[in-house]
Amino acid sequence: MKHFLSLADLPDFDATVQLAKKLKESPFAFEDQGKRKTIGLLFFNPSLRTRLSTQKAAQNLGLNTLVMNFSNEAWALEFEDGTEMRGIRSEHVREAAAVVSQYCDIVAIRAFASLTDKENDEAEIVLKSFQKYASIPVINMESATNHPLQALADALTLEENKTIHRPKVVLTWAPHPKALPHAVGNSFVNMMHYQDADFVIANPEGYDLDPRITKQITVLNNQEEALKNADFVYAKNWCSYTQYGHILRTDDEWMLSPEKMKLTNNAKFMHCLPIRRNIVVSDGVLDNPNSLVIEQANNRTYAAQAVLKTLLDNG
């Protein structure tokens, strides 16, 4: 594996989940593997879990970590080629990526979708520019369309908590006051393509994810029907994909409540966090012992560690 931009880059998905599981049991088993090497974590957007868990994962492998909030600490970057740089953008990504490559052996990048220009977002300009101009492996810490580290942690959480071979897993859209990207939903769907599960997506009309990602998966516009007999319920908001970046409804009909969870097979509840209480989901769901959200956050460390170890194995 040269870079980790999406789950498809993993040489073996199941083996990576098993590696994450082993690393969770023995986090320091390879504590010297990254000795005298450095990872740079570059954030164009805020983070709690990704920032701390990726740093911890790197340190568990002996890597030095450099962390930078690129959006307010670095020079504003130009990504277009051939421009006369007269505006506020002081540095071209060609130099920035090459310079970061002098100080680091791996670089990880978070750069969200703008949600104003679908074509531009889908081109993944920031991530792909670093891939092009850096001379070191690039890790996606959530890009415009993908959050593979989250999805890998979610796969580990499913693996640890499933009690039957083929569980029913429901990814349900939930309300949110702000327009949110599709990255987590997309990566969860991509991850479910590797699972033996009865997988259903539930979202209101107008909120279908990119059909190139959902492919043949059943999509229901009736949340309560989808929740019936579910073993896992994963809630997530995303804005409209067809009316790109728009919020089409602001009511709370799709908020998850303990009453709705009663329709399930005593389902475990999942969410990537951060979560707005009593907007996305009510307190009674989050505070229920069936909520896995803190374990999902814990598993972010071991998912990241498995990815870093795989990159280090490649030299």
- The residues of the shown chain that bind ligand CP, judged by CB under 6 A, are 47-50, 142, 150, 272-274
Nearer of residues 200 and 272 to ligand CP, judged by Cβ: 272
Q: Taking the complex as a whole, how short is the minimal distance between the CB of residue 45 and ligand CP, in angstroms? A: 8
Instruction: Write down the residue that tokens 């990602």 correspond to.
Output: 213
Helices 148-161 and 183-192 sit at what angle, rounded to 10 degrees? 50
Nearest to 304 by CA among 10, 8, 103: 10
Q: How far apart are the first and last CA of the chain?
A: 10
Residues 130 and 85: their CA atoms lie apart, in Å, by 19
Q: Which long-range contacts (CB under 8 A, 24 or more apart) does 75-84 make?
A: 77/126, 79/125, 79/126, 79/129
What is the smallest separation between the CB atom of 280 and ligand CP, expressed in angstroms?
A: 13
In whole angstroms, the minimum distance from the beta carbon of 296 to ligand CP comes to 8
Alpha-carbon distance 125 to 79, whole Å?
A: 7
Helical (H) or strand (E) element with 199: strand 198-202
User: In the 8-state DSSP scheme, what is residue 277?
Assistant: B
Taking every pair of Cα atoms in the chain, the longest distance, rounded to a whole number of angstroms, is 60
Contact indicator for 139, 3 with CB cutoff of 8 Å: yes
Least distance CB 180 / ligand CP (angstroms):
11
Q: Closest separation between CB of residue 216 and ligand CP, Å?
A: 27
Q: Which is nearer to ligand CP, 15 or 294 (CB)?
A: 294
Q: Which is nearer to ligand CP, 143 or 282 (CB)?
A: 143
d(CA 218, CA 207): 14
Residue 7 is given by DSSP the state G
CA distance 165 to 153: 19
Q: Tell me whether residue 18 or residue 47 sits nearer to ligand CP (CB atom).
A: 47
What minimum distance in Å lies between the beta carbon of 89 and ligand CP?
25
Shortest approach of ligand CP to residue 94 CB, angstroms? Answer: 28
Nearer to ligand CP, 143 or 203 (CB): 143
Residues 76, 250: Cα–Cα separation, whole Å = 35
Indicate the residue among 53 and 101 with the shorter CB distance to ligand CP: 53
Question: For ligand CP, which residue has the nearest CB?
Answer: 50
Q: Which of 50/129 has CB closer to ligand CP?
A: 50
